Amino acid sequence: MGYIRWVALMRLIFAVGVLVATIPALAHSWYPLACCGNMDCFPVTCDQLVETASGWLYVPTGNLFNREQVQPSQDLHCHVCLGRTGDHRSICAFVVPNV
């Protein structure tokens, strides 16, 4: 393989690596900074969020999100944002409309 082909191949491999590395960061770039600042949110299955008279309950942890903390999801997945400190407070949740 000639030097020029080798350099072109290395550039291609580097470009693919950069694209693969940035996809997870872009996937949830729509999280509002006021809610969680891209640090406390993560996707969950929608059946883990149950609507109650008081708001939305995140079943695995028992966190309750009041209605003001719940927003429509901007993708087809549900998400929760929990505090990272020891209290794991409910910050916000995103639900798929009509789930």
Amino acid identity for residue 84 in this structure: R
Clarify whether residues 80 and 35 are in a common domain.
Answer: yes
Clarify whether residues 47 and 70 are in a common domain.
Answer: yes
Q: Looking at residue 34, what is its pLDDT? A: 76
Q: Looking at residue 12, what is its pLDDT? A: 57
Which domain, by its residues, includes 79?
31-99
Clarify whether residues 10 and 36 are in a common domain.
Answer: no
Of the pLDDT bands very low, low, confident and very high (cuts 50, 70, 90), residue 90 is very high
Clarify whether residues 6 and 40 are in a common domain.
Answer: no
Clarify whether residues 25 and 38 are in a common domain.
Answer: no
Clarify whether residues 18 and 59 are in a common domain.
Answer: no
Q: How many whole angstroms separate alpha carbon 48 and alpha carbon 69?
A: 16
Q: How many whole angstroms separate alpha carbon 70 and alpha carbon 38?
A: 16
pLDDT digits (tens, 9 = 90+) for 8-54: 565 655 544 444 344 344 445 788 887 776 578 899 999 999 999 99
Number of domains in the chain: 2
Longest dimension (CA), the chain: 69
DSSP class of residue 61?
T
How many Å is the Cα radius of gyration of the chain? 19
Q: Looking at residue 30, what is its pLDDT? A: 83
Q: How far is CA 69 from the centre of its chain?
A: 16
